[in-house]
Amino acid sequence: MQTPALAVSPAYRSLQAHAQLAGQWNLRELFAQSPQRFPAMTIEAAGLFLDYSKNLVSEQTLPLLCELARERGVETRRAAMFAGEKINNTEKRAVLHTALRAPRSMALTVDGQDVVADIHAVLERVKSFSELVCSGEWRGHTGKAITDIVNIGIGGSDLGPKMVCLALRPFVRPGLSMHFVSNVDGHDMDSILAKVDPATTLFIVTSKTFTTMETMLNAHTARNWFLRHANEPALPQHFVAVSTNAEAVAAFGIDTGNMFPFWDWVGGRYSVWSAVGLPIALAVGYDRFTEFLAGAHAMDRHFCDAPLEANMPVVLALIGLWNRNFLGHASLTIAPYHQDLARFAAYLQQLDMESNGKRVTRDGQPVGVSTCPTVWGDCGTNGQHAYFQLLHQGTDITPIDFIAALLPNHELPGHHAALLANCFAQAEAFMRGKTENEVRLEMRAQNMAEAEVEALVPHRTFPGNRPSNMLLMDRLTPATLGALIALYEHKTFVQGVIWNVNSFDQWGVELGKVLAKNIQAELEGQSPPQKHDSSTSGLIARAKKVATN
């Protein structure tokens, strides 16, 4: 049965009328009118704290948004996902990344199979292998312990473990270096191979089918490099796989006993909780990895149990939807004030944009409204000296998610107070802005000439009224990182339900892959010139000419 178009739903129309009023609001005035605005617009869950009070919302906005969520079936679809129903309708698959972090005591049967039991069987293998490597019992072909781990994957098989290993840097065991290769660009692999010793390096090749073009090209490059230093029987001591294709894994030279499987109901961008997280378990130890899973599970329970109005993922999703569909803001900036979260914005780019970057509904009809915003960002305070100028005084308004830990994972004096001061000050500055009168008073206090004051007023005025969320945790740990990732997963899910898109397929990545295969054959002289547009044909000809000179 087709879901009614979003744009004509009663709740959506009510919100459109409400947004007309919101166009007249000013955040300064909203705070002045309501001394209880901050406590009324904060939520705590799973070790995280969300302050959404610096958004252009009133006390009527969230109830209207929650009515839209109920009208669009968020609660029903949420229950269907957790029950293992095949909500990925275009691929006829269940969506069970939440089961990957479920405790062993939970039961979930899908197509007659005990999913949780299968998950924990793989986790036991991850535990055993990670303990062998971490203890030094697992040795390379010359008898030396492993000192470097190179993860070869792409997309979620790279972004997830890379982001988490960087975020949990203080917890990585001493003497171990983690490396990640994803790009088909040979400069990526070349830079890693120049740093590592074949006698002490372990490669993890992550590809569900063991056919992913970029991953397998990099894997064979690493294999060839290794075999220049060792014999083929040594391969199983230095290569393991995260895959389901045992035949291809064995043909590569990897012992299938060291192949860690995952399932077709695990999408790449949701796979960090599965065997794809093997690099994390190796880096921080299996116990820390289980803390990471437990933090995500705590957010899962909150998402399932909390009423919509007090449900952190739901509220974050609804505020994002309000900014996107009713206030017309086309992008979202992620600003983690924590250097170890340097790859978090890139991780959310894939999570959000690959999930909800869709133009048709689950029924194949045009969505009729704007969907996923463009997601981008960088660490504070670096971003303040790069793109915050545009955010403060540019022509487009970009909502911001600030993320910070109240306590550092270091003992360097002075740094953390400065970091938090910048984070909180930027959020306040985006909300308050600076009026023309405030600018005049400031410059007159500096005894500037009146003509100079008036000339500078337009340049030094900040419009303010720019929305942001503040997400805090006491400290960045495996558990709070797990909760943070799960929060954004569920936010993405809720928005996808409201837009009625399938958040769990990604057909848009396929076309370029098909065309690239044909063009590569032309570039390598393995096929005659194909019919392209004049630009593509000209680019291919130019590349071949330079390569042969």
Tell me if 90 is assigned to some domain: no
Q: Specify whether 253 is located in the same domain as 332.
A: no
Q: Specify whether 355 is located in the same domain as 479.
A: yes
User: Is position 513 annotated as part of the catalytic site?
Assistant: yes
Q: With a cut of 80, say whether residue 1 has pLDDT above it.
A: no
Q: 223 vs 508, which has greater pLDDT?
A: 223
> Pick from 266, 291, 316: which residue ends a domain?
291
Interval 267-316: pLDDT, tens = 999 999 999 999 999 999 999 999 999 999 999 999 999 999 999 999 99
Q: Specify whether 49 is located in the same domain as 118.
A: no
Return the structure tokens found at 22: 């919101």
Residue type, 3: T
Helices 286-305 & 478-499, crossing angle to 10 degrees?
Answer: 40
Show Cβ contacts of residue 400 under 8 Å, excluding neighbours closer than 6 positions: 332, 333, 334, 335, 391, 427, 430, 466, 467, 468, 469
Q: With a cut of 70, say whether residue 168 has pLDDT above it.
A: yes
- What is the pTM assigned to this prediction? 0.96
Residue closest to 461 by CA, chosen among 392, 376, 540, 511 = 392
User: CA angle at residue 152 from 147 to 157, to 5 degrees?
Assistant: 115
Interval 64-78: pLDDT, tens = 999 999 999 999 999
Count: domains in the chain: 3
Q: For residues 441 and 215, give the distance between their C-alpha atoms in angstroms, rounded to a whole number.
A: 60
Q: With a cut of 80, say whether residue 51 has pLDDT above it.
A: yes
Q: Are the beta carbons of 289 and 478 closer than 8 angstroms?
A: yes
Q: Specify whether 455 is located in the same domain as 383.
A: yes
Looking at 214, 291, 354, 489, which residue is catalytic?
Answer: 354
pLDDT band at 2 (very low <50, low <70, confident <90, very high): low
DSSP 3-state assignment of 45?
strand
Looking at 187, 385, 459, 545, which residue is catalytic?
Answer: 385
User: Is position 59 annotated as part of the catalytic site?
Assistant: no
Q: With a cut of 90, say whether residue 3 has pLDDT above it.
A: no
Which residue reads 């005035």 in tokens?
Answer: 29
3-class secondary structure for 244-288?
Answer: CCHHHHHHHCCCHHHEECCCCCCCHHHCCCCHHHHHHHHHHCHHH
User: Is position 416 annotated as part of the catalytic site?
Assistant: no
Q: Specify whether 265 is located in the same domain as 181.
A: yes
pLDDT band at 229 (very low <50, low <70, confident <90, very high): very high
Q: Specify whether 102 is located in the same domain as 237.
A: yes
Q: Specify whether 485 is located in the same domain as 501.
A: yes
> Pick from 505, 522, 537: which residue ends a domain?
505
**How much of the chain, in percent, has pLDDT values that exceed 70?**
100
Structural domain of 392: 18-85+306-407+417-505
Tell me if 300 is assigned to some domain: no
**How much of the chain, in percent, has pLDDT values that exceed 90?**
93
Q: Specify whether 514 is located in the same domain as 496.
A: no
The domain that holds 132 is classified in CATH as 3.40.50.10490
Q: What is the mean pLDDT of the chain?
A: 96
Q: Which residues of 472-495 are buried (b: 16+ CB within 10 A; e: fewer)?
A: bbeebbbbbbbbbbbbbbbbbbbb
Q: Specify whether 78 is located in the same domain as 123.
A: no
Q: For residues 193 and 234, give the distance between their C-alpha atoms in angstroms, rounded to a whole number.
A: 18
Q: Specify whether 155 is located in the same domain as 273.
A: yes
Q: Are the beta carbons of 223 and 254 closer than 8 angstroms?
A: no
